[in-house]
Amino acid sequence: MPEPLDPKLPAIEQADAWLKIVREFLGVLSARKKKQFNRRVSVGDLLTDRDANAAEYGFGEGTTMYDNVLVLGDVRVGRNTWIGPGCILDGTGRGLEIGNWCSISAGVQIYTHHTVKRSLSLGVEPIEYAPTKIGDGVYIGPNAVIQMGVTIGDKVIIGANSLVNRDIPANSKAYGSPAQVQ
């Protein structure tokens, strides 16, 4: 293969050479991840470390999060919490707090603001904000949505695909749309 930075090569051939090198490199990383964890992950997760991703935001020791988690605003997360792929953690509305030993499953969305009144009023009403708090030892199932201003107590299970639009007391289970305590 020609050197990618060979000035004699046209730019398109240089790009193709670099692309080939990058793909080979990613293939090596992918094979290593498959051997180590028996999983296939996105390119971002091949190039980053989940512990480092969480530490970069100042999240607690032992907390991990996938590379493709969207973190907005003031988000604080305690120790030993797992944040799955494709989550949205929105702390733009006076802060989002997530406790210790939580599992935030794939696709979970947690909000501290919404634009319902703003949209319906054609921009006359402001965006609404309220802090959201998740206690310690909380499991939130895949694709659940936690609306702004909600407090979820300690040791709570939130079912998959649930819409949580009100506070959930400690030591309970809630699921559905809207979520109901069971």
Q: Is 145 helix (H, G, I), strand (E, B) or coil?
A: strand
Q: Is 21 helix (H, G, I), strand (E, B) or coil?
A: helix
Q: Is 92 helix (H, G, I), strand (E, B) or coil?
A: strand
Q: 127-163: per-residue pLDDT in tens?
A: 999 999 999 999 999 999 999 999 999 999 999 999 9
List all residues 6 or more positions away from 157 whose beta carbon is below 8 Å from its beta carbon. 138, 139, 141, 172, 173, 174
Of 2-11, 12-21, 70-79, 80-89, the one with minimum mean pLDDT is 2-11
How confident is residue 74, by pLDDT bands cut at 50, 70 and 90? very high
Q: Where are the domains of the chain?
A: 1-40, 50-169
Nearest to 170 by CA among 130, 132, 131, 137: 137
Q: Is the pLDDT of residue 1 over 60?
A: no
Q: Is 94 helix (H, G, I), strand (E, B) or coil?
A: strand
Q: What percent of the chain is predicted at pLDDT more than 90?
A: 77
Question: CA of 135: how far to CAs of 70, 121, 167, in Å?
Answer: 20, 34, 11
50-169, CATH topology level: UDP N-Acetylglucosamine Acyltransferase; domain 1 (2.160.10)
Model pLDDT, residue 2: 52
Q: pTM (2 decimals)?
A: 0.87
Nearest to 91 by CA among 75, 78, 68: 75
* Integer Cα distance of 134 and 112 in angstroms: 12
**CA Rg value for the chain:** 21
